[in-house]
Chains A and B, each alone.
Chain A
């Protein structure tokens, strides 16, 4: 793609800057690199491969941050994403550059030489000739495809991406560090989170610096703050520190908490349009309790669009809890870090409190097992390296209870189901939520949904993958879900046609550590048996639920089509019988053959045309009608009046501030709303 070309020139900037530094200190060849520099050079690691993907990843990171932020304060998320296309002229005025006309045309890459023009004209003439011929022959004339405007290397498109949410917001003083320092974040620790490394928003900033040189704008306000923080900053890549342009408190004009982030980057909407829309749609599936508004604004109005993904439920999964490490998942380095960070004094307390699934008695037994040099009251900070290795070895060999999954926050069967129904409108849907299982000391939960039919679903398998409630869109082929659905599920045994039916397969995996493959965090490998088995089981459970529904539907359809199916064959059968009768009648009339009395009268009727093909047809139709009536009666008495299962509908509350009490359990939720009337208070359901 054009990625190589277009990203080269902006990438020069930091390089040039870098080359100056070593010149000053020539004596040392040894150089240090800041994390920001590393990621600027290897931005593909974070999903910033080419301008198109950069646009996609920027949207994705901002949306996920917004969701995390809103969920952390248990607020139903409202996220507004706007992508605004900026033309070259507009961009140049933005950065204060005067648009210059080309003078020396031959200097440019897209300059058309005389030879090339000749070739092009010849080709166009040929095309016209062919078309004229086709038109003369009365063939359908294809619209002549307008020759695509050659896009030169320097020709980049720029976009302003804005993401506004109703989340927690950020403390005024922390904002510069939260955006201007790579690998600093609030989401470290062992917990199920969408983001992990504190990279997303910063990578967007680095990319904007690389491609446009424009800073990032952040507005934020927290609950209870009477001002809005506004900050404009960019990042000093070499020192990995924020470079602040403006940092001020503004007057708060309306009641709002949350953050609004605006960044101008180079991108490619044409090629990544569908990916971004898919992402938004799948995000809406997995988070039906959020409301998304996606806008694309362009100068050409037909390209502009606004899509609203409405909220369908108030039930939000709980905030995932931070958990402690499981002994079998830690490595040597992690043990050392835990030792330096712990507030516990002795080894007994350390084992008991810094890990899950180690009780006091268990810890004592473990210490006993470590050898005579270990005492329960030993100071944890006094352990030698060898002793730490001994602990690590024991952790590897000893047996521990599996971690329970209560620190995880799966989307929930209810939400998954709602999301699927809301976005796909399928004919049938089944969901299943597995129990927590363990891979290398990290608990994980697999939830699955299988849908049939629906709008905007193509025939065959449509696979939707989610990891920690984020849609995965790339590298589908090698993913465990794709492989399982394609190879290990025998769809036909569930009366599902893998090629013809519109099958939607939704699998959501949540874990404290998702075992991603590759650098892009885009797929989960197929080589982990625990996950593969759990995925297969979950999909199968959904299929089993669907099968009974499908069978019922097929029976009902059979009922409806029985008469038609039977009647279809009447002419064939009647014709065949009549043909034989006619021949027999002929030979009977010619006295070739003798028939008995009853048969003789029948054949006589055939030859005198008292019995014709139509008589047989009519009699057979009558019989079919009677049988059909009897069977329909039987079916009705057996199955009773069947009804389609009803789906709950969600109605937006008109006034969010109205008083209410929820009585909820796992299946349903009653809401009593209090309305103030003149006479007093009135409770409605």
Chain B
């Protein structure tokens, strides 16, 4: 009843920002958030004692998982592999790699773990075959380069690696994909290979951590925030007085929130990977979640890709499923923009876009995915999206003014604890 009354008042009033008058004072919102975080922390600390691993589950099919390996053990496994190959060549049998398959047929979603894992199917990559000669040659070359890195104990980026033999690799996607194959084959994480990706993600807000020994205060990093360091092993000593972590899909929304210093009004940490998340951002988010025990709220576009990005943070990508244990952050809440928000916040028609055939197909495919199905709220929202055939970006909220996102939409969402 009270809701209804408020709504009527909101409609009657001619405020500059719609729904603004429904906001309670910030202190009230903060109070509710605090109580929530407290309970979440206790809940997670109690459940944290029994974090499941693959080994705990009696799965019918065996699954492959990688672990962080020390440099010397990576080096010796490369050496034994090369020795095996050398013997095979000298024996006149050519050589072949036994590479774990990373195709979608070899992926498995484990509901107990809430992430995708890799099954144990392997494919043979012989040298003397027209279809695999390229890949097996690139694999040997990458193995040699990583052996070098291990011996010298230095880090290079994926781009660096590609440029060491452009003529052979032809295009970076080829060396990148073989790199993932190699880490899979050696059973180690990609970070253990000493190969890092360029910085992509940024973080701003109430977070202090050490990067390679330097203390970083993310409230004092200017408007752009701190770039998330590519090697997570140098990051440590995380401290924060934030109440939650806000995961933002888009750079534009991130800049808006950073400039408005949203994290000072509601203590929080704001993270974005500017689209599809890279490994570093995912590792960083997981580390924050694990060490600080904060709830993670996601602000993504209201389209199938927004949900897909959310799923990559949550249960991992198929490409990197062999390392999903280290890359996924459990229990991410979908804050917005959800398909039901379009009507709830009266987003005008001109800001909504019709979904293309491709969008609708992706949406329908997502409805079949296990990680969506396990959350009934998500299924409902996604079905609504596919039914209305409308999508909207975070920027659609700018219709009501550029600051509507930080001034009204997010506070109201937090006040109503409107997340799934």
Contact = CB atoms under 8 A, between A and B. Distances in A.
A562 B134 contact: no
13 contacts: A569-B137, A572-B140, A573-B140, A576-B137, A579-B144, A583-B151, A602-B86, A611-B90, A615-B90, A616-B89, A616-B90, A620-B89, A623-B89
Interface string B38-56: 0000000000000000000
Interface string A557-584: 0100010011001001110110111011
Contact of B90 (A583, A619, A627): A619
- With a 10 A CB-CB cut-off, give which of A572, A598, A599 has the most chain B CB atoms: A572
Contact of A569 (B83, B92, B133): B133
Contacts of B136: 573
- With a 10 A CB-CB cut-off, give which of B89, B95, B129, B165 has the most chain A CB atoms: B89
Contact of B141 (A572, A619, A623): A572
Given A602-B83, A619-B89, A620-B127, A577 B133 contact: no
A584 B79 contact: yes
A577 B95 CA distance: 11
A338 interface: no
Contact of B133 (A565, A576, A615, A619): A565
B130 A599 contact: no
A585 B8 CA distance: 82
Nearest 6 A/B pairs, CB to CB: A623-B94, A627-B128, A576-B144, A576-B140, A569-B137, A580-B82
B171 to A, nearest CB: 16
B87 interface: yes
A624 interface: yes
A4 B92 CA distance: 81
A616 B144 CA distance: 15
Contacts of A615: 90
B144 A602 contact: no
Contacts, number: 83
A313 B127 CA distance: 53
Given A573-B137, A577-B140, A620-B89, A565 B82 contact: no
A622 interface: yes
A566 B130 contact: yes
Q: For the complex, would chain A's binding face be called helix, strand, loop or mixed by DSSP majority? A: helix
Contact of A572 (B82, B87, B94, B137): B137
Contact of B128 (A572, A581, A623): A623
B143 A565 contact: no
B93 interface: yes
Contacts of B165: 572
A179 to B, nearest CB: 59
Given A562-B130, A573-B140, A623-B94, 8 more contacts: A566-B130, A572-B137, A573-B136, A576-B143, A581-B82, A583-B148, A620-B94, A623-B127
Contacts of B151: 583
B168 interface: yes
Interface in B134-154: 134, 136-137, 140-141, 143-144, 147-148, 151
B351 interface: no
B360 interface: no
Nearest to B82: A580
Interface string B98-138: 00000000000000000000000000000111100110110
A216 B317 CA distance: 81
Contacts of A566: 127-128, 130, 133
B283 interface: no
B95 to A, nearest CB: 8
A624 B143 contact: no
A647 to B, nearest CB: 32
Q: For the complex, would chain B's binding face be called helix, strand, loop or mixed by DSSP majority? A: helix
A558 B131 CA distance: 10
A583 B150 CA distance: 12
Interface in B230-286: none
Chain B interface size band reads 20 to 34
B78 interface: yes
B90 to A, nearest CB: 6
A562 B87 CA distance: 25
B23 interface: no
Contacts of A573: 95, 127, 136-137, 140-141
A252 B171 CA distance: 78
Contact of B94 (A558, A579, A583, A624): A624
Nearest to A615: B90
Nearest to A569: B137
Nearest to A627: B128
Contacts of B129: 627
Contacts of B127: 566, 569, 573, 620, 623-624
A616 B86 contact: yes
Given A566-B130, A573-B127, A573-B140, A580 B147 contact: yes
Contacts of A622: 92
Contact of B143 (A580, A620, A628): A580
A576 B147 CA distance: 10
Nearest to B76: A593
B92 A577 contact: no
B85 interface: yes
B357 to A, nearest CB: 16
Contacts of B147: 580, 583
B134 A577 contact: no
Nearest to B138: A572
Contacts of A558: 130
Interface string B283-325: 0000000000000000000000000000000000000000000
B89 A577 contact: yes
Contacts of A576: 137, 140-141, 143-144
Nearest to B127: A573
A95 B136 CA distance: 83
A615 B147 CA distance: 22
B78 A580 contact: yes
B144 A623 contact: no
A629 to B, nearest CB: 11
B126 to A, nearest CB: 9
B137 A599 contact: no
A628 B129 CA distance: 9
Interface string A588-601: 00000000001100
Contacts of B89: 574, 577, 616, 619-620, 623
Interface in B199-239: none
Contacts of B140: 572-573, 576-577
A570 to B, nearest CB: 9
A607 B168 CA distance: 28
B154 to A, nearest CB: 15
- With a 10 A CB-CB cut-off, give which of A565, A580, A598 has the most chain B CB atoms: A580
A545 to B, nearest CB: 26
A572 B85 CA distance: 14
B141 A602 contact: no
Contacts of A577: 82, 85-86, 89, 140, 144
Nearest to B87: A602
A616 B92 CA distance: 9
